[in-house]
Amino acid sequence: MDWETLRFSFLNYESIAEVYPLLLRGFWMTIKLCLLVGPLGFIAGMVLATIFSFHIRWLNWVLIAYVDFFRSIPPLVLLIYINYGLPMFGLDVPAFVAVLIAFTLNSSSYYGEIVRAGIESIQAGQMEAARSTGLNRTQAMIYVVLPQALRNVAPDLISNTLELIKATSIASVVALPELLRMARVSQELVFNATPLLVAAAIYLVMLWPIVRLLSRLERRMMSSH
């Protein structure tokens, strides 16, 4: 393969100039997804973990079933079931909403387990000390236990968020115009792989700071121990 063929296939600047509006549209859709599915999954997971810490036996069994169920289903399969299955029950939701539901259900189960592990890492005396100051159990959990628990599992939370951001690319299977979907559409328009390489570069720029932050936190926690 000569240089000109290689350049046309993978470094075609003319193609970028032609399809960059599509890539930009996909980029902003991906950003919108990341800004929504991450916080939604984290908040839902934190609620699950907090409820679990109250040790209500029958409710804990329900939470365990929820977590196990949604951790067992691949997010791609869950997304397909929601997007194409709900209309069979008269619930015709837009693709964007289907993606939000699927990712929130899936990610909340992982976030919930991480936060639960963080809560269990806090000594029981912390809760008792907080209760002795006049706080009720819920207040003690929110103001005393949870901040320490989240700090203990910060690397795991960031790592899960990183995986969640990468997984948003599967939204392309329901024709949501996120970055990967727009890169593939662009590829079909210009007949070369340059848009896919541009999309990969955009993902790298987006995720690299998170990877560095994760590495830094892990080193800091290892040195503190």
Encode pLDDT of 99-128 as tens digits. 999 999 999 999 999 999 999 999 888 888
Q: Decide yes or no: CATH 3.40.710.10 for domain 3-224.
A: no
CA 69-41-117 angle, to 5 degrees, is 70
User: Please, which residues have CB within 8 angstroms of residue 179's CB and are 6 or more apart in sequence?
Assistant: 23, 26, 27, 29, 30, 169, 199, 202, 203
pLDDT at 222: 65
Q: Is residue 202 a contact partner of residue 179, using CB atoms and an 8 Å limit?
A: yes
Neighbours of 110 (CB within 10 A): 21
DSSP output for 172-201: GGGT---HHHHHHHHHHHHTSSHHHHHHHH
**Amino acid (one-letter) located at 142:** I
Element (H, E) at 39: helix 13-52
pLDDT (tens, 9 = 90+) of the chain, 225 residues, equals 566 677 767 778 888 889 999 999 999 999 999 999 999 999 999 999 999 988 889 999 999 999 999 999 999 999 999 999 988 888 888 999 999 999 999 999 999 999 999 999 998 888 888 888 888 888 899 889 999 999 889 889 988 998 998 899 999 899 899 999 999 999 999 988 899 999 999 999 988 988 888 788 777 766 665
Q: Any idea where the domains of the chain sit in the sequence?
A: 3-224
Spatial separation of the C-alpha atoms in residues 50 and 205, rounded to whole Å: 35
Alpha carbon dihedral 110, 111, 112, 113, in 10-degree steps, equals 60
- For residues 65 and 30, the answer to whether their CB atoms sit within 8 Å is no
Structure tokens at 225: 């121990």
Query: Phi-psi category of 191—alpha, beta or left, where left has phi over 0 and alpha has psi -120 to 50?
Result: left
Pairwise CA distance, residues 73 & 166, whole Å: 17
CA distance 47 to 39: 12
- Distance separating alpha carbons of residues 139 and 132, to the nearest angstrom: 12
